[in-house]
Amino acid sequence: MKTVSKLLVAVSFCLVSVTGCSDASKEIEKFADRACACKDAACAEKVAEDFGAWAKKNKDATGDADKAAKSAEKMAKCMIEKGMDPSKLSQMMMAL
């Protein structure tokens, strides 16, 4: 779990610059909320896929890095709690 959380946090920091404010940190929070609302692993995997697609399209995103990191950690925790395989989540994030 810690490795996956760290990976998601790293991805979030890459996506979200410390300066400036935009919707990037808010978008990551929305993905975290979606992951926490999931009832099963299939749903969590879909959120991870959607997050990956969003992350690839928004490599130059800006926003609040601290909020993004907290949201990414929340997202990883919820995905794993819903039954997503941590190694699969890790592989998906490494592909970003």
Tell me what pLDDT residue 41 has.
96
pLDDT at residue 21 is higher than 50: no
Q: Going by C-beta distance under 8 Å and a sequence separation of 6 or more, which residues neighbour residue 53?
A: none
Look-up of token digits 């998601």: 8
81: CB partners within 8 A, 6+ apart: none
Mean pLDDT of the chain: 82
- Six-digit token pair at 21? 């404010």
> For 15-32, what is the mean pLDDT?
71
**pLDDT (tens digit per residue) in 44-72:** 999 999 998 998 888 778 888 888 888 98
